[in-house]
Structure 1
Amino acid sequence: MQSPEPSSSSPVLLNIGGKKYATTVETLMQREPDSMLAAMFSGRHTLHDHPTTGKGVVFVDRDGKHFRHVLNWLRDGAIPVLSESDYQQLLREAEYYQLLGLVDYINERLGWKETDNSEAELTRKDVIKCIQTQRVRFRGVNLSGLDLSKLDLSEVDFSYACIKNTDFSYANLYKAKFGQVEASSSSFQNAILRVSLLELILKNLFWMEQTFEVPIYKMLA
């Protein structure tokens, strides 16, 4: 017997291996509709395989530490840069939950660690189409080697992206976000940046012991 279909905004309380998480049915179903998590809360299946506590918390006997990355993937379509061992552990969790998009993403990230000749997931034309929308996020996307010079990329979120050898010269990067990027040998010559953003980029690149071309900047307070 199937359970009644819950509202997409219904809150969901989870206990994953002893760690508690709160999210919504919409988050669990929207990005990966064919996953086990989506099936559990879609009303298509009962939850008899996953016991609940007296307070309605669904218990899943899996790794609780890495489930936060699973939720971040379902919410934003991106995860932070992790060590290879953490990627491998997260891959096992993604396979268990049947998150095929996350499985492909992790395999691509592991592939980046094996070669510096990774291919960008988007073209310059694709980026131009994206920035014509209201809110643009390239979180965790591989943009390595692209020519993004002279584009208006203001307020774009590049967090966790791979931008190795990417050309941002003369681009407008005002209020753009570059947290935890992979940016070795990228060029920001004559790019428009906020001072705080410049400091963040330099901090990230210093932490990764990478270098990139920084001859001239136009800075906005």
Structure 2
Amino acid sequence: MSIVNNDWLTLNIGGQKFTTCRSTLAREPNCMLARMFAPESALRPCVQDADGAYLIDRSPRYFEPILNFLRTGSLFIDPNVNPAGVLEEAKYFGMESIIPQLEEITQDYSIPRDERALTRRDVVEALIGQASFSDRTDRPDRTDRGLRFQGLNLEGADLSKLDMTNVNLKYANLKGARLNGANLSWSQLERADLSHAQMEGTQMLGVKMLCANLEGANLKGANFEDPAGASANLEGANLRGANLEGSNMSGINLRVATLKNVNMKNCDLRQAILAGADLENCNLSGSDLHEANLRGANLKDATLELMQTPLHMSQTIR
């Protein structure tokens, strides 16, 4: 003998059937779905199909995220589903708890895709896709070409601890991005905007950052030295007000870079090229400048206390 569970019911939404529980629909007690299927409700749909499913003339495509929200308490929308449609369904069914969230998503969605800031998820998916491509055995060319994010908007993105080696980020907008502990080694960051980015402990071996904007960035403890000898190139970069304390910058090229008011305490700057750099009011105390090239550099009001290697005239004069 079969047992009938009156808590279960089937909805026919625009021709697609969804099986769920009354208790699930009741999780938002003031919404139309909860009131439609409450015991003794006067709003219960009066029409059922041949299988007994309750007919509701709405879009199943936009209804599914709402039902899943009632099931899990979290809002998930397939990338191919327009959130504006889900918002209209939420308004129709009186789902007040998710309307503000959907309105925010819809506002972002209205911005053209190529103008929206990429998220950590976007980058991770691209990295995974690149890894899968690199692992293919049927490729005629097995060389790692790297990813191209040239000129894209990554402002404020959380990219911490990601492996982004060999990535092309030329002209990219990385303002305020979080890159703590990330690996940007051998990446291309020419003229990228990294102002006020958080880059503490970032690996930047052999990175190319000509004329990049790093004003106010936190690069404390970053590592620029490539044991294989490929020097990091930050020629002409703007590092005004940045924090580079304790960074390993042996052999780095900072020719004609702007380093005003930079914290470079206890840095390894052996064989660094600082010719023509603006080091006004820069704190270089405790740093190692052995064989560094400081010819033509502006050292006005720079702090040079406790230097591991005394500066010589040949280092500072053309």
**Between Structure 1 and Structure 2, whose CA radius of gyration is higher?**
2
TM category (shorter chain) comes to 0.3 to 0.5
Whose relative contact order is higher, 1 or 2, with alpha carbons under 8 Å and at least 6 apart? 1
Provide the TM-score with structure 2 as the length reference: 0.34
When the two structures are superposed, what TM-score results if normalisation uses the length of structure 1? 0.47
Give the helix-richer structure, 1 or 2. 1
Higher strand fraction (1 or 2): 1
